[in-house]
Amino acid sequence: MTMKKLLLLSTLISVSLLLNAQTRSGSISDVQRDQNRRNQAQNEQQSGFQRENLRFGGNFGLRFGTITFIDVSPAVGYQFTNRFLAGVGVTYNYYRDRRFDPPFTMSVIGGTTFAQFAVIQIPSMHFFLRAEYSLLNQEVDFFGQYQRRDWVHYPMVGGGILLPFGRSSGVSIQLMWDLIEKDNSIFPMNPIIRMGFMFGL
Q: What is the pLDDT of residues 4-14, one digit of tens each?
A: 555 555 665 66
Same domain, 143 and 170: yes
The CA distances from residue 173 to 2, 22, 148, in Å, are 96, 66, 34
Q: For residue range 120-140, what is the model confidence (pLDDT) as tens digits?
A: 988 888 999 999 999 999 887
Q: What three-state secondary structure class fits 199?
A: strand
Q: What three-state secondary structure class fits 2?
A: coil
The pLDDT score that the predictor gives to residue 131 is: 96
Quick check: bond before 191 cis, omega within 30? yes
pLDDT in tens, the chain (201 residues): 566 555 555 665 665 655 565 555 555 455 566 666 665 545 545 557 888 899 999 888 777 888 888 888 999 999 999 899 999 999 998 988 888 888 888 899 999 999 999 999 888 889 999 999 999 998 876 555 656 788 989 999 999 999 988 777 889 999 999 988 677 777 767 888 888 888 887
Query: How far apart are the C-alpha atoms of 49 and 46, rounded to whole Å?
Result: 7
For 113, residues 6+ apart whose C-beta sits below 8 A from its C-beta are 86, 87, 88, 89, 132, 133
Same domain, 102 and 72: yes
Same domain, 112 and 179: yes
Same domain, 100 and 41: no
Containing 66, the helix (H) or strand (E) segment is: none
The pLDDT score that the predictor gives to residue 143 is: 52
Q: Read off the CATH number of the domain in which 167 is found.
A: 2.40.160.20
Q: What three-state secondary structure class fits 175?
A: strand
Same domain, 121 and 180: yes
For 187, residues 6+ apart whose C-beta sits below 8 A from its C-beta are 69, 154, 178
Same domain, 20 and 111: no
Domain limits for position 8: 1-48
Domain count of the fold of the chain: 2
Same domain, 64 and 154: yes
Same domain, 72 and 169: yes
Query: How far apart are the C-alpha atoms of 45 and 47, rounded to whole Å?
Result: 6
Same domain, 125 and 185: yes
Same domain, 41 and 114: no
Same domain, 133 and 184: yes
**Environment class of residue 201 by beta-carbon count within 10 Å: exposed (0-12), middle (13-18) or buried (19+)?**
exposed
For 128, residues 6+ apart whose C-beta sits below 8 A from its C-beta are 116, 117, 118, 119, 159, 160, 161, 162, 172
Contact 157, 175 (CB under 8 A): no
